[in-house]
Chain A
Amino acid sequence: MAGETKTLGISGWIQAVAIGRRPRRTLVRLTVLITLAVCVFLLFSFVLMPVRINGPSMMPTYQNGEINFINRLAYMNHEPQRGDVVGVRFSGPHVMYVKRIVGLPGETISFTGGCVCIDGKVLDEPYLKFPSTDWESPPKHLGPAEYYVVGDNRSMPFEDHQKGATERRRIIGRIVLHGQS
């Protein structure tokens, strides 16, 4: 009959709102959205790990409270290099140190007059903005899978600054965003 309108029940109304007038288009959009969400989840869970810098040991390169990312695939094809800023995990990925590698496996490292010495030779560190003149430590020989890491803020007292040799298995990746140079 003319003028007659069909009223939707509740289920019909829900169906109309959820699916829309073109179900196929809705399905495509939903598939794209879910695929995007899964990709973002996988990216930030397994590749780019977000980190929040806590503490002053990497200042001024990285500020306290700053957000950055650790690239977990950085060392797929090569080993960590001197100068790399890396994440060093504790028992798992939730807490880690963010430090710079200054010593490589097999080397002997020491601090003399505030400078890093590798096998007796002073290391050139152009990234240092807060150097030290009084950091002193005896030579330490690194094992075959050990790297020496230290922060960029050398103006801190030596004993307050967390630094030392770490095993290769604890280095989970390299920091992505470059800090202030």
Chain B
Amino acid sequence: MNKLRRVLLVAAVVVIGFFVWRFCFPNPQQVIRRRLNEVARLASFTPNEGAISRLAKIQRLGLFFAEDVQVTVDIPGYESHTFNRREEVMQVVMASPRLGAGVAAQFLDMNIQMGSGDESAMVDLTLEAKISGESDLLAQELNFTLKKIKGEWLITRVETVKTLKP
């Protein structure tokens, strides 16, 4: 019985140690996943959230993008558009009419492919967004390219993916 208790104790310590190690020293995929989840959280607003809080979130959102980020939006029914540089992207976000409504955004099904040397990554994910007052969910597949710049994973490119090609 003593031996069994000792074995169970050692196993519990190993398992807990593993999870603590993963939390304290995450691998690049885990870091990227956390950063992208934070991007989705900062892009979400409640309907009664104040303007100052929203602007603060958008400003913090800008820090996740590289200065020379390129965002290409090509959605069926709308003209394709490419936004270059972080400032232009932030201006478009701030001017968005949907900023007045509540938005709940989340990134699902992230597939992360690390580049050589673990200094870059491509992420294929699905953006799911619910706008307050609208019954339908918005879903859009996106491709993110991230690079490690000065120790931080920054988004350098975002493009929409056509799940169905018209």
Chain A, residues 68-109, CB within 8 Å of chain B (1/0): the string is 000000000000000000001011111101010000000000
Please state if A166 and B126 are interface contacts (CB–CB under 8 Å): no
Question: Which of B21-29, B66-74, B90-98, B136-144 interfaces with chain A?
Answer: B136-144
Determine whether A31 belongs to the interface, using a CB cutoff of 8 Å to chain B. no
Please state if A91 and B162 are interface contacts (CB–CB under 8 Å): no
How far is A164 from B161 in the complex, measured between Cα atoms in Å?
A: 13
Please state if A54 and B166 are interface contacts (CB–CB under 8 Å): no
Please state if A160 and B109 are interface contacts (CB–CB under 8 Å): no
Please state if B126 and A163 are interface contacts (CB–CB under 8 Å): no
Please state if B141 and A91 are interface contacts (CB–CB under 8 Å): yes
Contacts of B151 in A (CB 8 A): none
Chain B, residues 91-124, CB within 8 Å of chain A (1/0): the string is 0000000000000000011110000000000001
Say which residue of B76, B77, B139 sits within 8 Å of A95 (CB atoms). Answer: B139
Say which residue of B76, B126, B136, B166 sits within 8 Å of A91 (CB atoms). Answer: B126
Please state if A54 and B109 are interface contacts (CB–CB under 8 Å): no
How far is A88 from B162 in the complex, measured between Cα atoms in Å?
A: 12
Determine whether A149 belongs to the interface, using a CB cutoff of 8 Å to chain B. yes
Contacts of B163 in A (CB 8 A): 88, 90, 97, 166, 170
Interface size class of B (residues with CB under 8 A): 20 to 34
Determine whether B165 belongs to the interface, using a CB cutoff of 8 Å to chain A. yes
Say which residue of A54, A97, A165, A170 sits within 8 Å of B137 (CB atoms). Answer: A54
Given contacts A54-B136, A159-B77, contact A91 B164 (CB under 8 A): no
Determine whether A162 belongs to the interface, using a CB cutoff of 8 Å to chain B. yes
How far is A92 from B127 in the complex, measured between Cα atoms in Å?
A: 11
The dominant DSSP class at the A interface is: mixed
Please state if A162 and B136 are interface contacts (CB–CB under 8 Å): no
Please state if A90 and B126 are interface contacts (CB–CB under 8 Å): yes
Please state if A163 and B166 are interface contacts (CB–CB under 8 Å): yes
Chain A: which residue is nearest B166 at the CB level?
A164
Please state if B165 and A95 are interface contacts (CB–CB under 8 Å): no
Contacts of A55 in B (CB 8 A): 136
Determine whether B125 belongs to the interface, using a CB cutoff of 8 Å to chain A. yes
Determine whether B88 belongs to the interface, using a CB cutoff of 8 Å to chain A. no
Given contacts A54-B136, A55-B136, contact A91 B124 (CB under 8 A): yes
Contacts of A137 in B (CB 8 A): 166
Please state if B126 and A95 are interface contacts (CB–CB under 8 Å): yes
How far is A54 from B136 in the complex, measured between Cα atoms in Å?
A: 7
Contacts of B159 in A (CB 8 A): none
Please, could you name 12 A-B residue pairs with CB atoms under 8 Å apart, sorted by A?
A54-B137, A88-B164, A90-B126, A90-B139, A91-B124, A91-B125, A92-B108, A94-B126, A95-B108, A95-B139, A159-B77, A163-B166
Q: Which residues of B contact A (CB under 8 A)?
A: 76-77, 108-111, 124-126, 128, 136-137, 139, 141, 161-166
Q: Which residues of A contact B (CB under 8 A)?
A: 54-55, 88, 90-95, 97, 99, 137, 140, 149, 159-160, 162-166, 170
